[in-house]
């Protein structure tokens, strides 16, 4: 269902009426709406000059959508039976009905637009009336009747106030709402009932949310389209794959891959290769890629062969638009764990086999995908795989010393520092078992730790590294 969301948050009212969290609330709501693949317009600290554009824009755009959502966080009030959403120009409390009308959005104007579109799903969410003033009164809303096809949700009951705080950096209402918006296949009415129950409980009965609905059609904020983040266009259950659960033949296959039993894992791969692969959606292909690499990393023979022959085994998974969700899953598994977090110890056992594909044009979208995620880590030790073969210099500070051993004395090269891009990685590299290793051994361990192909690494050191030893006074040795 194509959905337009207009999200408004106002903090910067005049002195004495400013709010702390309305913009935070609106920003967070806009982010989850984007993850739900809605078309989102985020507006913060709107002025009275913005109001005509907001209403005219809604009129112009509503025909192009199946559903529209307006979310407002800020001050709201009622005067002479009319309900207002205040711009930051509005006096709080309002000086009078005429100034309020000039400086605020009349809810009746929004509902008038909605009433002309009764066959659509129209939702108005208002987290307003958020401050109690020094005079001891709280501005509230008068009761509202929603036109057909419309649901109106308030953070409070009529004539009550609502808190701007209470849930971290969010109001209690929006904080709870954010917890529920991502729930899959939770109808809009059921969702707001859950919000009401939670807000009532968390405020010890001090705040009761309120809705009025005349919806005709069913509506689900998340009908299965929620993605983990905008840069990771896959469901949370496959990004945080420890949460994955699917009661289907495919779900049984993934369970088999997670069995830590070579024979079961090999059988699972055989079943996959006999499937009609076009029946798998992108999330299934993504988690399949992750689990094939996991099984190969654990030693499952057929999965190892699959990974070692990726140039051919990936072909059936190529999409017409250039995507390869299976390869995306494999790449993601190298760098990110079962909670979707960046790995401290990358899964590097087969990374060279995987990264060889970076120069093949048919896989460019997959390497763009992982490159975006790695760049976001903002870590200069991370290699971003690309078709360009740039050399990565590793500087090694070492001196040669004669050391006593069980067999006598021998010369060793004692390393005190290893760095890349001026970042010290000595402690991390020294944790590997060198066992009198040489420069090639160091190269292997650097490649493994950094996930950089060995042919793209160059070690710079003033002495030959033939028998390496790490200075125990400088680092924690293996």
Task: Inform me whether the pLDDT recorded for 119 exceeds 80.
Answer: yes
Q: Tell me: pLDDT of 265 over 90.
A: yes
Report pLDDT for 477: 42
Highest mean pLDDT out of 104-108, 323-327, 421-425? 323-327
Q: Give the three-state DSSP class for 140.
A: coil
For 61-66, what is the mean pLDDT? 94
3-state percent helix, strand, coil for the chain, nearest multiple of 5: 40, 20, 40
**CB-neighbour burial class of residue 418 (10 A; exposed 0-12, middle 13-18, buried 19+):** buried
pLDDT of residue 478: 40
pLDDT reported for residue 166: 72
Mean pLDDT of 62-66: 94
Q: Which long-range contacts (CB under 8 A, 24 or more apart) does 14-21 make?
A: 14/88, 14/91, 14/92, 16/92, 16/134, 17/75, 17/92, 17/131, 17/133, 19/73, 19/74, 19/75, 19/130, 19/131, 19/164, 20/164, 20/165, 21/73, 21/164, 21/165, 21/169, 21/170, 21/171, 21/174
Is the model's pLDDT at 131 over the cut of 50?
no
Global model pTM greater than 0.75: no
Is 227 or 185 the better-scoring residue by pLDDT? 185
Q: What is the pLDDT of residue 136?
A: 28
pLDDT per position as a tens digit, 3-41: 999 999 999 999 888 999 999 999 999 999 999 989 999
Task: Give mean pLDDT, residues 260-283.
Answer: 94
pLDDT in tens, 206-224: 889 989 999 988 899 998 7
Amino acid 133: pLDDT:
30
The Cα–Cα gap between 282 and 232 comes to 12
**What is the distance between the alpha carbons of residues 400 and 415, in angstroms, rounded to a whole number?**
9
Q: What is the DSSP letter of 344?
A: S
Helices (H), 235-363: 236-239, 249-257, 262-273, 282-298, 301-308, 310-313, 325-335, 351-355
Residue 303 pLDDT level (bands cut at 50, 70, 90): very high
- For residue 352, give both structure tokens: 């060279």
Instruction: Return the pLDDT at 474.
Output: 58
| Amino acid 162: pLDDT | 63
CA–CA distance, 36 with 228 (Å, rounded to integer): 9
Alpha-carbon distance of 208 to 198, in angstroms, equals 9
What is the mean pLDDT of the segment spanning 418-436? Answer: 91
In this predicted structure, the answer to whether residue 428 has a pLDDT above a threshold of 80 is yes
Q: How confident is the model at residue 48 (pLDDT cuts 50, 70, 90)?
A: very high
pLDDT at 336 over 50: yes
What's the pLDDT tens digit per position in 220-235?
Answer: 999 877 777 777 889 8
Q: Which of 90-94, 196-200, 249-253, 379-383 has the lowest mean pLDDT?
A: 90-94
Averaged pLDDT, 410-432: 93
Structure tokens at 280: 């798998």
The tokens for 417 are 């520092």
User: Which residues sit opposite 393 in a β-bridge?
Assistant: 458
Rounded to 10 degrees, the C-alpha dihedral 419/425/431/437 comes to: -10
Helix (H, G, I), strand (E, B) or coil at 383: coil
Q: Which two tokens stand for residue 256?
A: 């088999």
Is the distance from CB of 461 to CB of 434 less than 8 angstroms? no
Inter-axis angle of helices 364-375 and 325-335, to 10 degrees?
30
pLDDT at 256 over 90: yes
Which residues make Cβ contacts (< 8 Å) with residue 97, sequence separation at least 6? 79, 80, 82
Cα separation values, 116 from 81, 82, 121, 217, 242, Å: 22, 20, 12, 16, 47
Average pLDDT, the chain: 89
């Amino acid at each position: 269902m194509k959905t337009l969301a207009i999200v408004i948050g106002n903090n910067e009212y005049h002195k004495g009426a400013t709010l702390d969290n309305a913009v935070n609330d609106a920003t967070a709501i806009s982010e989850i709406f984007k993850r739900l693949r809605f078309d989102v317009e985020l507006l913060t600290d709107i002025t009275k000059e913005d109001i005509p554009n907001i209403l005219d824009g809604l009129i112009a755009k509503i025909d192009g959508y199946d559903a529209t959502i307006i979310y407002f966080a800020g001050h709201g009030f009622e005067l002479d039976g009319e309900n207002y959403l205040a711009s930051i120009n509005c006096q709080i409390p309002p000086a009078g009905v005429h100034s309020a009308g000039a400086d605020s959005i009349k809810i009746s104007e929004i509902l008038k637009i909605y009433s002309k579109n009764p066959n659509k799903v129209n939702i108005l969410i208002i987290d307003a009336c958020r401050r109690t003033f020094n005079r001891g009164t709280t501005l509230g809303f008068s009761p509202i009747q929603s036109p057909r096809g419309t649901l109106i949700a308030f953070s409070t009951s009529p004539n009550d106030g609502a808190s701007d705080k209470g849930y971290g950096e969010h109001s209690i209402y929006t904080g709870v709402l954010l917890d529920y918006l991502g729930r899959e296949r939770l109808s809009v009415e059921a969702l707001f009932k859950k919000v009401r129950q939670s807000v009532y409980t968390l405020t010890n009965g001090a705040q009761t949310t309120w809705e009025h609905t005349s919806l005709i059609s069913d509506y689900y904020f998340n009908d299965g389209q929620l993605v983990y983040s905008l840069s990771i266009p896959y469901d949370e259950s496959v990004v945080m794959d420890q949460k994955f659960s699917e009661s289907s033949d495919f779900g049984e296959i993934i369970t088999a891959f997670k069995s830590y039993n070579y024979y079961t894992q090999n059988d699972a791969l055989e079943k996959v290769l006999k499937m009609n692969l076009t029946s798998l959606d992108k999330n299934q292909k993504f988690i399949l890629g992750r689990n094939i690499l996991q099984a190969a990393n654990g030693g499952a023979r057929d999965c190892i062969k699959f990974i070692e022959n990726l140039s051919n085994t990936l072909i059936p998974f190529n999409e017409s638009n250039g995507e390869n969700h299976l390869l995306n899953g494999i790449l993601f598994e190298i760098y990110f764990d079962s909670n979707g977090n960046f790995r401290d110890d990358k899964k590097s056992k087969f990374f060279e086999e995987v990264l060889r594909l970076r120069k093949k044009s048919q896989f460019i979208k997959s390497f763009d995908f992982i490159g975006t995620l790695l760049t976001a880590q903002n870590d200069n030790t991370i290699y971003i795989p690309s078709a360009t073969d740039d050399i990565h210099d590793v500087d090694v500070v070492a001196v040669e010393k004669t050391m006593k051993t069980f067999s006598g004395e021998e010369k060793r090269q004692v390393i005190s520092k290893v760095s890349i891009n001026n970042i010290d990685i000595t402690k991390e590299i020294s944790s590997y078992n060198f066992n009198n290793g040489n420069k090639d051994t160091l190269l292997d361990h650097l490649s493994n730790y950094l996930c950089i192909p060995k042919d793209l690494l160059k070690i710079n050191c003033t002495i030959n590294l033939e028998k390496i030893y790490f200075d125990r006074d400088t680092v924690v040795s293996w």
